[in-house]
Amino acid sequence: MSDETPAEILARVETEEREIVLPRFDLDDAWRLGSAMRAAALERGLPIVIGISLGEARVFHAALPGSSADNDGWLERKSRVARRFGRSSYGVGLSFRAAGKDFDTSARLDTTEYAAHGGVFPITIAGVGVVGTVGVSGLPQADDHAFVVEHLRAFRAPSG
């Protein structure tokens, strides 16, 4: 991934956004996905917070050693971006930059409430649309995004 150009990164993220669509997602699914993410993060020693929301309701939250309240703030700001735009917070930020714009000024949104940085992905159900978000905060934005995508792909797999 490190050798990708900004255009290639954006194209990859847009492909992920199109491909990661779930057949269903409910409270039990949120618990299973969140728990799997927490276990993997603990195993890897990642200092992150994990959050899953359905609509405006936070249905899963975990804070791991090394994370802080600042990570919670970032997670919420990135989640607002994913909900508002219906796509990953990373993809939104990359799209603004690809257009030669700065999200913080061009989006005309309160930067204390919205952050277009990687780490939050929309939960999209086939035939329904976006119903929530899943995200993490605590790593560099590309790593936050990759962690979430990794776990959504595993969750979506037939065995998940």
Select from 3.40.50.300, 3.30.450.150, 3.40.50.620, 3.40.50.1240 the CATH code of 6-156. Answer: 3.30.450.150
pLDDT at 158 over 70: no
pLDDT at 13 over 50: yes
pLDDT at 157: 81
The predicted-structure confidence for 110-138, as pLDDT tens digits, reads as follows 999 999 999 999 999 999 999 999 999 99
pTM: 0.95
pLDDT at 2 over 70: no
Q: What is the largest CA-CA distance in the chain?
A: 43
Average pLDDT over residues 95-107: 95
SS3 label, residue 66: coil
Domain ranges of the chain: 6-156
Structure tokens at 6: 């900004």
- Please name the residues in contact with 63: beta carbons below 8 A apart, sequence gap of 6 or more: 49, 71, 72
